Amino acid sequence: MIKFERHTLTNGLRVIVHHDESTPMVTTNILYDAGSRDEDPRATGFAHLFEHLMFGGTPSVPFFDVPVMMAGGENNAFTNNDITNYYITLPSNNLEAALWLEADRMRGLDLREERLNNQKSVVTEEFRQRYLNQPYGDLQLLLRPLAYKVHPYRWPAIGMDISHIEKADSRSAKEFYDRFYNPSNCILSVAGSVDPEVVFTLAEERFGHIPSGEHNGRRLEQEPEQDERRELTVHRNVPAAHLIMAFHTGPRVSRDFYVLDLLTDILAGYDSARFPSILIRKKELFSDADIYLSGEADPGLVIFSGRIREGIDIKDAEGAVTAELNHLAEEYVTTAELEKARNRYESNRLMSYMSAANKAFNLAYQEVLGDAEGINSEREQYMSVTAEEIMVASQCTFRPGNCSVIHYLPAKR
């Protein structure tokens, strides 16, 4: 059980504090409700590029990292399809410095062209390093436009194409900043050896003067139901074939999510799970086989991803995965399987409590999903999943018409 206190400032900034006296550190986590789903389809990758700009300095703090380091802190950020998240972990007696820095860049960011141009080059190299210069690195770039036709999840957070990043200009950066980077569109959570009342007072002092702005006014067209199998075959310079099968699921906050999340553990969450036992060891079709939820706020995907053994036809490999998924629709998972998945969930949950930074992020993330209390109430959601629910969810999800398939094959030499 994670105890926390909540307080909303008059400008709409939601502040959540978790007291953890076991650490001499404190983490401030600031989550902006802005991600790649909020981008213009002609300028994808922009939310992530903007995250880089947030480290570019302000008139009062020319180098963001300098005061963080002076305070003995570390900091970083990430962007995904839904959110952009920033954190600073530092000795708790420097909490005020972290709040000052976050407030400062929420309102006075340097968005000059020169700064932007530089980060465009950096992000271009990030794009190349992570997605183009890695074997199988472009799978994410291929999957999203195959699985989504309407919703902005059809591009990955890094963007569709390097050319989009090159086109970004400072006018759109300013618009993005004004629309999303304001108190009413963000959540501040703090975890560590700090007194909640002190944090609320400091938050008021540091953030209270920032105009609230407007909530982002997001209205996204939702993805229509997929009714036909989609298939894409590509050839690349890789040693082994790779199979992706993606199925549409419900939103993050839905019973569907918890049922399928527990199911993916039963299928591939540990060595004795079904896929390692059957697809890797018994049938010797795959060298690795995983299945996981993409986990986005809007309806997401459950994705099978497997590397195929040499000499195995990808169609046979796909047939075996399909057989396993169909089996779930016909026969209940066993009590022992459910028990294992629950035990694993319990260990992972406790593991995530080992770090105050992790708790701070999770509180903010649950709050943006609807309620920070989710950090505690989710446990019951997982523990109460039944074999019947898993069967029904499998029947609804693993349908041929709901599937997007990628056959990623070695180029012929």
Partner 1 sequence: MYLQTRQLQCYPLSSSKEMKAGEPKAAPVIITPSAGVISFPEMARLGNGVPVYLIDKGTVDLMRIECVFQAGQIMEEVHLSALSASAMLTEGTRSYDAATINDLIDSTGAALYHLADKDTASLLTITLTRKLDEVLALAGEVLFRPSFPDHEFRLLTDRRIQAFLTSRQKTSVIAREAFYEALCGAENPYGRIARESDYRSLTTGDLRRFHQKHYLPLNMYITVAGRYPEQTLPLLEKHFGINGRDGSGRPVRPILHFATARPVKIFCEIPGSVQSTVRLGWDGITRNHPDYQGLQVATTILGGYFGSRLMRNIREEKGYTYGIHAVAGSFREKGYIVIMTDVANEYREAAVKEIKKEIRILCEDEVTDEEMTLVRNHLMGETARMFDGPFTIAETVRGIIDHETGHDYYNRFTETIRSITPGKIKELFNTYFNIDEAFEIIAGAR
| Binding residues for partner 1, total number by CB under 8 A | 99
Q: Which residues are within 8 A (CB) of 140 and not within 5 positions of it... i.e. 6 or more apart?
A: 131, 156, 158
Residue placing its CB nearer to partner 1 in the complex, 118 or 395: 118
Which residue among 3, 40, 41, 135 contacts partner 1 (CB under 8 A)?
A: 135
63 binds partner 1 (CB under 8 A): yes
Which residue among 94, 226, 305, 362 contacts partner 1 (CB under 8 A)?
A: 94
171 binds partner 1 (CB under 8 A): no
DSSP labels, 292-342 = EE---SSS-EEEEEEEEPTT--HHHHHHHHHHHHHHHHHSPPPHHHHHHHH
Shortest Cβ distance from residue 227 to partner 1 (Å)? 36
229 binds partner 1 (CB under 8 A): no
Q: Which residues are within 8 A (CB) of 379 and not within 5 positions of it... i.e. 6 or more apart?
A: 345, 349
What percent of the residues of the chain are helix, what percent strand, and what percent coil, each to the nearest 5? Answer: 45, 20, 35
Subset of 102-121 contacting partner 1 (CB under 8 A): 103-104, 107-112, 117-121
Which residue among 43, 238, 369, 409 contacts partner 1 (CB under 8 A)?
A: 238
Subset of 182-201 contacting partner 1 (CB under 8 A): 182
Residue placing its CB nearer to partner 1 in the complex, 5 or 204: 204
User: Which range of residues in 63-71, 144-152, 247-255, 372-380 is near partner 1 by CB under 8 A?
Assistant: 63-71
Chain center to CA of 127: 17
Shortest Cβ distance from residue 272 to partner 1 (Å)? 4
Which residue among 41, 60, 113, 167 contacts partner 1 (CB under 8 A)?
A: 60
**Amino acid sitting at position 386:** T
User: Which range of residues in 209-217, 250-258, 360-368, 384-392 is near partner 1 by CB under 8 A?
Assistant: 209-217
Report yes or no: 168 and 12 within 8 Å, Cβ to Cβ. no
Shortest Cβ distance from residue 403 to partner 1 (Å)? 25
387 binds partner 1 (CB under 8 A): no
Residue placing its CB nearer to partner 1 in the complex, 278 or 325: 278
Shortest Cβ distance from residue 287 to partner 1 (Å)? 4
Subset of 269-328 contacting partner 1 (CB under 8 A): 270-273, 276-277, 280-281, 284, 287-288, 307, 309-310
Q: Which residues of 242-275 are buried (b: 16+ CB within 10 A; e: fewer)?
A: bbbbbbbbbebbeebbbbbbbbbbbbbbeeebbb
239 binds partner 1 (CB under 8 A): yes
55, 107, 129, 250, 331 from 95: Cα distances, Å: 19, 19, 35, 39, 54
| HEC sequence for 194-247 | CCHHHHHHHHHHHHCCCCCCCCCCCCCCCCCCCCCCEEEEEEECCCCCEEEEEE
237 binds partner 1 (CB under 8 A): yes
